[in-house]
Structure 1
């Protein structure tokens, strides 16, 4: 007789606790600086015009993330709290969704909790959750969609309502920033490839087989294709009411041609611009703030955790090996998501790129590190897993002041954290 398989219990309480701690860390000094900083100076005017529907601006980006930020301003006022409260909430949503997605993908408690701990201590999500920019809204919706898709694959009986939510979230992610478009195609393409690979007699109507039993490819195309596109289109409703739209586009297609031209326009070189290999190697940071603000010298530095960001690279290689050798779909999913989200920047026509474009790939890299760390733990290793996690948390604590605009001792305080020339 064989013992029944052990099914771990859902660690949702751990996920909620980690999300709450992360929210508290993000909320500390959220209203400092009290003036707009870095790209807030571009997006906040667009938010104000959106609230009074007077003038469409910042047309190079889709409108929904600005609508989300505008909701915070409408509730809490045109002040630092109103500007940044919605990014904070979407940062918490992104963290919680990442843990839930990993749980449904693996049914491994430790892997899901490690994912949250590595992402929370990885610097990037924290910094982006404290500034009124578009990327965090996109990341929150995208990770929510991946959570719903993973849940649908794990619990087929819940697939319809989960994929309905996923479809809306994918549309909102694309309508927040176009970076999400390649990733938004992954769930639908995965379903398509899986059913065609199975070689069913009626692949479009068959409801048998992976990834979701009881759902046909035709139905999945509605949830993962039609719903995202319809949601995306609906988010452009303000353009029906703006008093003035530059260029006077004749419709949604003309507007998108104009937006695409703006994305591809030649810009002057920026001192903080970088390329994908610098993101992967964590050698080019961005100073969102370094000046006298609110009565003290303060700084906000965007970079990756020096330990976990680099440790994630061999973890990704291991995930490729495990996906091929052990047929681990969780590892394959992380690798595909990382490759798609980073790969678009290898071919993107956008001439000036920045480290914050690495936000989603960084989250997937942290997920790969969580899977690798848990595998080491399962093999009986103790020193390396604890060193990786403990070292990452220690570095997070050390860098926390410069991630959150703390009061610094003087003009050259940045040297305490600017270890590399590319971090200065």
Structure 2
């Protein structure tokens, strides 16, 4: 017997429809991002900023299976898990140990993240236009752009967190469709996408341990959507809580398994740093248990390092400065004669697109307002992801003044962009404002694009006159 689903329930649980034509603008945005990032990728033709660590360690992994310093004939003590460096190593394996080889994996990660954001935005807002706008804004942001062309770890961390969030969105949509199809019986089936959530969260933690900041936020988002779905179809709140609790435990096991798997090279050799720490200290080292204990001791040393990292750096910044782009990071600086002027400079400046980043602060304030006024769970979800990406760093700052950099904010960037589009959509949603809304959205994206084009020379290390370089530093000495 078929049960008629009330229209109000259909409205609350509606998901985006399948529109094959939506892939055409999606692929255009992705192709644009790829072309921008691939152009002259091998320049500068040297290791810049922290490439001296990560490109080198990736080559060590490729050569020895572990981070290894041949000059010391000993395992290399490193403070980040191996997966991000393995990602870099794939490019070095495919294209050689050169600038293109160690940067190409970052390009792939950056381009895939643009694709994911387009499709996630489309599902969240049920709008291909807003989804493509989200991907385009990500493609035209300087922070994402420079890190997509550098062999650092943060672009991989951002990608895996975004993939985990995308799986949560897919899980929401799948369960909503099943709830509508089985209305009155509530047969939801196996939540396959939650396996993907756990897998990608494990990958994020395997790039940087700060990936764990997002685990509580994603679990809470799953709970919010699960409870909301069950209540809409007449289920109980406790049923949703039990479901998410059980799955949190199961997902936790998978996250840990993925994380441990990323250390396979360390487990498989006898030469990794502290691989046989117990035996060296004259203590019993049982098979497997001893290895796990040594890995725990390794992580204790890493945590001590991170919490005690307070050495001043010329380009360090504090979390409250990040959304204001108060202190970007200079990756490269060379004075040369490569332009038609007496004094020329080549720089790679890790700087977010100011038009985009300076709109985040009012957008977050408006996100809170509209979220409360409209009782829209999407606002709370985006706020949770932004908070997971930014707030823990405030704690580290005030609990000892740990050295930090603006690129720590990169994992929060996709959700900040979605927050901007959510607010624009809320302001311009009424039917009588749609034309005005389309013009306003187009003007905003064009302004972001114009700013990106103007700053492009200092993103890619183009040799330009010193005066032209200085003109691009909107905040003067704060940016150098």
TM-score where L is the length of structure 1 = 0.89
Q: 244, 263, 269: which is aligned to 2:312? A: 269
Match of 1:41 in 2: 52
What is the CA distance between 1:23 and its match in structure 2? 0.8
User: Secondary structure at 2:152's aligned position in 1?
Assistant: coil
Q: 371, 377, 400: which is aligned to 2:456? A: 400
Query: Residues 98 and 294 from structure 1, CA distance in 2 versus in 1: closer, same or farther, beyond 3 angstroms?
Result: farther
Is 1:63 the counterpart of 2:106? The answer is no
Match of 1:176 in 2: 207
Once residues 388 and 126 of structure 1 are traced to their aligned partners in structure 2, the CA distance between those partners, rounded to angstroms, is 19
User: Secondary structure at 1:378's aligned position in 2?
Assistant: coil
Range 21-30 or range 242-251, more displaced: 242-251
Is 1:245 the counterpart of 2:272? The answer is yes
What is the CA distance between 1:412 and its match in structure 2? 5.0
Contact 1:87 1:129 in 2 (8 A): yes
Once residues 77 and 125 of structure 2 are traced to their aligned partners in structure 1, the CA distance between those partners, rounded to angstroms, is 41
> Which residues in structure 2 correspond to 1:187-198 (within 5 Å)?
187-192=218-223
Query: Residues 195 and 20 from structure 1, CA distance in 2 versus in 1: closer, same or farther, beyond 3 angstroms?
Result: closer
Query: Residues 109 and 58 from structure 1, CA distance in 2 versus in 1: closer, same or farther, beyond 3 angstroms?
Result: farther
For these two proteins, the number of residue pairs brought into alignment is: 415
Contact 2:106 2:156 in 1 (8 A): yes
User: Secondary structure at 1:185's aligned position in 2?
Assistant: helix
Q: 229, 235, 242: which is aligned to 2:262? A: 235
Once residues 339 and 268 of structure 1 are traced to their aligned partners in structure 2, the CA distance between those partners, rounded to angstroms, is 26
Is 1:220 the counterpart of 2:231? The answer is no
Match of 1:282 in 2: 325
Match of 2:287 in 1: none
What is the CA distance between 1:149 and its match in structure 2? 0.8
Give unpaired runs (5+ residues) of structure 2: 1-6, 69-74, 179-188, 279-293, 340-344
Q: 353, 359, 370: which is aligned to 1:311? A: 359
Q: 148, 155, 168: which is aligned to 1:149? A: 168
Range 381-390 or range 39-48, more displaced: 381-390
Once residues 139 and 239 of structure 2 are traced to their aligned partners in structure 1, the CA distance between those partners, rounded to angstroms, is 31
Q: 268, 291, 297: which is aligned to 1:254? A: 297
Once residues 473 and 379 of structure 2 are traced to their aligned partners in structure 1, the CA distance between those partners, rounded to angstroms, is 34
Match of 2:114 in 1: 95
RMSD (Å) for aligned C-alpha atoms: 3.0
Is 1:409 the counterpart of 2:472? The answer is no
What is the CA distance between 1:292 and its match in structure 2? 5.0
TM-score where L is the length of structure 2 = 0.79
Deviations 1:357-376 (A, max 9, x none): 11122322111111122333
Deviations 1:85-141 (A, max 9, x none): 111111112121122222222222222122112222221111110000000011111
Q: 411, 420, 427: which is aligned to 1:376? A: 427
What is the CA distance between 1:69 and its match in structure 2? 0.7
What is the CA distance between 1:188 and its match in structure 2? 2.0
Deviations 1:330-354 (A, max 9, x none): 2211111111210010012571000
Contact 1:163 1:223 in 2 (8 A): no
Deviations 1:152-174 (A, max 9, x none): 10122597332212211110011
Once residues 99 and 148 of structure 1 are traced to their aligned partners in structure 2, the CA distance between those partners, rounded to angstroms, is 14
Contact 2:331 2:350 in 1 (8 A): yes
What is the CA distance between 1:190 and its match in structure 2? 3.3
Give unpaired runs (5+ residues) of structure 1: 201-206
What is the CA distance between 1:58 and its match in structure 2? 5.2
> Which residues in structure 2 correspond to 1:72-111 (within 5 Å)?
72-111=91-130
User: Secondary structure at 2:354's aligned position in 1?
Assistant: coil
Q: 348, 369, 372: which is aligned to 1:321? A: 369
What is the CA distance between 1:316 and its match in structure 2? 1.3
Query: Residues 252 and 330 from structure 1, CA distance in 2 versus in 1: closer, same or farther, beyond 3 angstroms?
Result: same
Contact 2:201 2:215 in 1 (8 A): yes
Match of 1:112 in 2: 131
